[in-house]
Amino acid sequence: MGILINKNTRVLVQGITGHEGLFHTQQMLEYGTHIVAGVTPGRGGEWVLDGKIPVFDSVRTAVEMTGAEVSVIFVPARHAADAMFEAADAGISIIVCISEGIPVLDMMRVHEYLLHKGTLLIGPNSPGIINPGEIKVGIIPGDIAIPGNVGVVSRSGTLTYEVLLNLTNAGLGISTCLGIGGDPVVGMNFVEALQFLEDDPHTEQIVLIGEIGGFEEEKAAEFISSSMTKPVIGMVVGQSAPPGKRMGHAGAIIENNIGNATDKIAALEKAGVKIASNPEEISRNLQR
């Protein structure tokens, strides 16, 4: 068991007929995710994956016909904002947006709109969410995590996979792993994710993976200091990043010496977070 989703959650895939959407739908199905529908405008009435999943022209129709609650988005960046608007208007409660490269202005509009609709957004540029042994929504490999009591929340994609694999190799299981996305404007932030994990009875300790740019880690540190009772292990990547240079596909950047790793680490340590310098050290610092 973990947060936000469970084995009974009804999932639809926006962009299901594209290469990435179809591939990862198959992976999610094989993991046990209850995928009830796909959406591709103009392809309604078709079926994919040997007739397992019906395709609809719109999210609203898919929701009305299947009762889908969660949408995972694999559409190109230029259409991703419209896909999120459509999902929210159709009554989807949680959107997981895998798409990357969405313009910041588009995301500012989406962010404001979803706040008024009460729709929870994970991403964009997110690897998704996984409750090991139960369900995964997104692209996190299902074979690198085992069930357990460690909650993981991360801004980094690929590093998340490395941390999960190291925890598995150390015999440490996961309650939920959630990638909030590394873009400048995202939906769920660290504080919101930490609150969910704090309230989750199946999570006993937490790993937070941050990176340079922005103030999310500093806000998380304030929340941890004031509101959390569970132990948190942290790791902040990008300590050697030069100021003003964009790093990685997420576009993490330090400007005017703001958002650097040193300040983030200092804030987290002040809040009582144990800081690890590599994934192996995270495993060693967690309680057995």
CATH value at residue 245: 3.40.50.261
Asked which of 64, 94, 122 is the last residue of a domain, the reply is: 122
My answer on whether omega of the bond before 54 falls inside 30° of 0, hence cis, is no
Distance CA 254, CA 212 (A): 7
51/98 same-domain check: yes
pLDDT, greater one: 254 or 264: 264
167/263 same-domain check: yes
What is the average pLDDT score of the chain? 92
118/145 same-domain check: no
Instruction: Please identify which residue in the block is written with the tokens 């015999």.
Output: 171
Distance CA 102, CA 79 (A): 9
175/100 same-domain check: no
Whether 172 is in a domain gets the answer yes
User: What's the one-letter identity of residue 228?
Assistant: M
156/89 same-domain check: no
Whether 129 is in a domain gets the answer no
Name the active-site residue from 34, 79, 116, 249: 249
70/187 same-domain check: no
pLDDT one-digit tens code per residue, 125-159:
999 999 999 999 999 999 999 999 999 999 988 89
64/166 same-domain check: no
Asked which of 62, 90, 122 is the last residue of a domain, the reply is: 122
Number of domains in the chain: 2
Contact status, residue 26 vs residue 36, Cβ threshold 8 Å: no
Question: Which domain CATH number covers 76?
Answer: 3.40.50.720
Distance CA 46, CA 60 (A): 17
> What percentage of the chain carries pLDDT values higher than 70?
92
Phi and psi based region of residue 179 (left: phi greater than 0; alpha: psi -120 to 50; beta: remaining):
beta
Residue 221 belongs to what domain range? 141-285
82/180 same-domain check: no
Question: Is 34 part of the annotated catalytic residue set?
Answer: no
Whether 135 is in a domain gets the answer no
180/96 same-domain check: no
Which residues share a beta bridge with 250?
Answer: none
146/280 same-domain check: yes
Banded pLDDT at 206 (limits 50, 70, 90): very high
15/64 same-domain check: yes
Cα distances (Å, whole numbers) of residue 201 to 6, 29, 150, 268: 14, 27, 11, 24
Q: What is the mean pLDDT of residues 237-263?
A: 58
182/279 same-domain check: yes
Residue 107: what pLDDT? 97
Residue 243: what pLDDT? 52
- CA-nearest of 148, 88, 80, 152 to 117 is 88
